[in-house]
Amino acid sequence: MEIASVGNLNFDVYLRVSELPGPDENAEVLDLYTGGGGSAANFAVAAARLGLAPRFIGAVGEDPLGEISLRELREEGVDVTYVKRIAGVRSGLVVVLVHPDGVKRMLSYRGANLGLAPGDLTPEKFRGVRHIHLATGRTELILKAKEVAREVGASLSVDGGTALAKKGLDIVRPAVEGVDVLFMNQAEARLLAGSHDHRTAVEKLARELRVGELVVTLGARGAAAYGGGKLLHVDAFRVDAVDTTGAGDCFAAAYIAMHLRGRDPYEKLLFANAAAAIKVTRPGARSSPRYAEVEAFLAS
């Protein structure tokens, strides 16, 4: 089943350091890992592994990093035909400093990602698509995607991240109105609702936002979903988590895979919770599982 994922594509560089350098100091890097990243691209890869046929809609520069990032997506079975190539701009890059205390410090260069404009979301690029997932906090893209989704008859999900939550309810409310599924993590839900407690935040957002389903991931506490007047919660599976990077993207892709199969809200939540639990046991932003692995995990 064809779907589209719209938003960021990055090249991620992880540097494991024993200490963070002070001004004018040099700190040694103990280990280096590179891999594809960017929320929309991670979602597309996770969706492909779960048996969907995703196309990625985003932008890269005309540089080697962009080529590597696109090749990685192609190798995962993601269609990159409609990726915009922008001359004179560098592709998105994220540098993550991983300290032994487990704390990560990230430096993001959005580069070509910023060149994706509402005018790039033309209906022709979405023909034949059953679902559009938007992983961006840019409201101008969300508004345009809503138009296109209506035109091509696709359902729509949005994961706006911190960038969207920071905008506040007055801006977010009209932007997401009518969206089928809205994803956020607990920090974003609390920020947007102006509440310290995630449960109060979910309840407030469920009242304030007119979306089909509101899905809030709660990290090691699982996830909650509000839809059709009902609030559901699942506890996280007990696993040895080694890397939660991209867990939210994997969760969203698995939830949408079940949504498109017409599963009930509890089944969607459970399947996504299982897929994300498998992901966190493996390093890397794109270490999401295949469909059969999730089924086997749930049956075990």
Catalytic residue ranges: 249
Choices 15-23, 110-118, 192-200, 247-255 (CB under 6 A): range interacting with ligand ATP: 247-255
Nearer to ligand ATP by Cβ, of 69 and 89: the residue is 69
CA distance 246 to 164: 18
Q: Which is nearer to ligand ATP, 148 or 184 (CB)?
A: 184
> Is residue 188 within 8 Å of residue 162, measured between CB atoms?
yes
Q: Does 45 bind ligand ATP (CB under 6 A)?
A: no
* Stretch of 11-19, 92-100, 194-202, 271-279 contacting ligand ATP, by CB under 6 A: 271-279
Task: Find the angle CA(179)-CA(181)-CA(183) to the nearest 5 degrees.
Answer: 115
- What whole-number distance in Å separates Cα of residue 105 and Cα of residue 88? 28
Tokens of 172: 């977010």
Residues facing residue 182 across a β-bridge:
158, 214
User: Is residue 101 classed exposed, middle or buried when 0-12, 13-18 and 19+ CB atoms within 10 A define those classes?
Assistant: exposed
- Is 251 near ligand ATP (CB under 6 A)? yes
Work out the angle at residue 45's Cα, subtended by the Cα atoms of residues 235 and 144, and round it to the nearest 5 degrees.
Answer: 95
Does 63 bind ligand ATP (CB under 6 A)? Our answer is no
Considering only 66, 222, 227, 265, the residue that binds ligand ATP (CB under 6 A) is: 222
Which positions from 190 to 219 touch ligand ATP by CB under 6 A, shown as an x/- string? Answer: ---------------------------xxx
Q: How many CB atoms neighbour CB 294 within 10 A?
A: 27
Contact 12, 37 (CB under 8 A): yes
The correct pick among 38, 61, 111, 246 for binding ligand ATP (CB under 6 A) is 246
Burial 228-265 (b: 16+ CB within 10 A, else e): eeeebbbebbeeeeebbbbbbbbbbbbbbbbbbeeeeb
CB of 63 to ligand ATP, least distance (A): 26
Determine the interface stretch with ligand ATP among 30-38, 91-99, 118-126, 242-250 (rule: CB under 6 A): 242-250
Q: Which listed residue (69, 157, 185, 288) binds ligand ATP by CB under 6 A?
A: 185
Q: Closer CB to ligand ATP, residue 70 or residue 223?
A: 223
Q: Does 224 bind ligand ATP (CB under 6 A)?
A: no
Name the residue among 97, 115, 135, 129 with its Cα closest to residue 19.
97
Of the candidate spans 76-84, 131-139, 140-148, 273-281, the one that interacts with ligand ATP by CB under 6 A turns out to be 273-281
Instruction: Read off the tokens for 8.
Output: 């960021």
Residue 245 within binding range of ligand ATP, rule CB under 6 A: yes
Tell me the angle at which helices 169-176 and 186-193 cross, rounded to the nearest 10 degrees: 110
* Chain residues in the site for ligand ATP (CB under 6 A): 185, 217-220, 222-223, 236-237, 239, 241, 244-249, 251, 273, 276-277, 280
